[in-house]
């Protein structure tokens, strides 16, 4: 890996987003990690009778009691009832994402019969400065970085949903000295990013 780059550091493409725009993408990845690593969690959801008490008991059993996780589970059950074929594949309902669509800045292009490459490159530099100002005026922010996202998602699912203790998760996913402290920090920061109340 090139120096200075870390696996999965960037959560989503692009230089800017509406504040909090990465949350939906991270939540979706978290739910997909549950589906991949612990498919029995979704099987247990599918087996529910559809009542709210059963849903809340399921959420408590799997430590998925935050408002957004219960909402996704509720909507998943609704979709499975409406479209039984979806239930066969045991997919989560879509995560509701916040933020707005960002309008595109006006495009530029090189007209090589009207300008030199050097003139166009000067326009590109000016364009980049203008777009950064435009993004700032819209209130866009840089997306958060999360080094080792794939590892941390898998560790979060093992710790938070499966219920493995921190020591076991640290042994499996975080090597080296202070592995429990490293694991605790990684899990806490990822849980905070996705709005998950980390189990004690």
Q: Indicate whether 137 belongs to any domain.
A: no
Q: Indicate whether 165 belongs to any domain.
A: yes
Please give the Cα distance from 72 to 66 (Å, whole number).
Answer: 10
Residue 188 has pLDDT above 70, yes or no: yes
- The closest alpha carbon to 105, from 124, 91, 83, 118, belongs to 124
- Please give the pLDDT value at position 85: 85
Q: Indicate whether 73 belongs to any domain.
A: no
- Please give the pLDDT value at position 5: 43
- Contact predicate 11/22, CB 8 Å: yes
- Please give the pLDDT value at position 97: 64
Confidence of residue 1 (pLDDT cuts 50, 70, 90): very low
Residue 138 has pLDDT above 90, yes or no: no
pLDDT digits (tens, 9 = 90+) for 10-48: 677 778 887 777 888 899 999 999 999 999 999 999 999
Cβ neighbour number for residue 78 with a 10 Å cutoff = 12
Residue 124 has pLDDT above 60, yes or no: yes
Domain residues for the domain of 170 are 149-194
Confidence of residue 61 (pLDDT cuts 50, 70, 90): very high
Q: Residues 6 or more apart from 33 whose CB is under 8 A from it?
A: 153, 154, 156, 157
Please, what is the average pLDDT of the chain?
A: 87
Q: Indicate whether 94 belongs to any domain.
A: no
- What total number of domains does the chain contain? 1
Upper half-sphere CA count for residue 20 (Cβ side, 13 Å): 8
Q: Indicate whether 174 belongs to any domain.
A: yes
- Please give the pLDDT value at position 102: 62
**Biggest alpha carbon–alpha carbon distance for the chain:** 70
């Amino acid at each position: 890996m090139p120096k200075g780059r870390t696996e999965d550091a960037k959560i989503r493409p692009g230089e800017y987003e509406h504040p909090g725009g990465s949350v939906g993408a991270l939540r979706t990845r978290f739910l997909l990690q549950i589906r991949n690593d612990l498919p029995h969690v979704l099987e247990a959801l599918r087996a529910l009778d559809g009542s709210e008490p059963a849903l809340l008991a399921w959420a408590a059993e799997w430590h998925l009691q935050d408002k957004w996780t219960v909402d996704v589970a509720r909507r998943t059950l609704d979709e499975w009832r409406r479209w039984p074929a979806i239930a066969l594949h045991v997919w989560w309902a879509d995560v509701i994402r916040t933020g707005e669509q960002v309008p595109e800045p006006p495009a530029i292009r090189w007209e090589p019969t009207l300008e030199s490459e050097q003139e166009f490159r000067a326009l590109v530099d000016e364009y980049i400065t203008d777009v950064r100002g435009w993004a700032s005026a819209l209130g866009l922010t840089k997306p958060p970085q999360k080094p080792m996202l794939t590892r941390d998602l898998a560790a979060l699912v093992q710790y938070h949903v499966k219920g493995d203790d921190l020591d076991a998760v640290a042994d499996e996913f975080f090597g080296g000295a202070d592995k429990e402290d490293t694991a605790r920090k990684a899990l806490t920061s990822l849980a905070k990013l996705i709005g998950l109340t980390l189990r004690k």
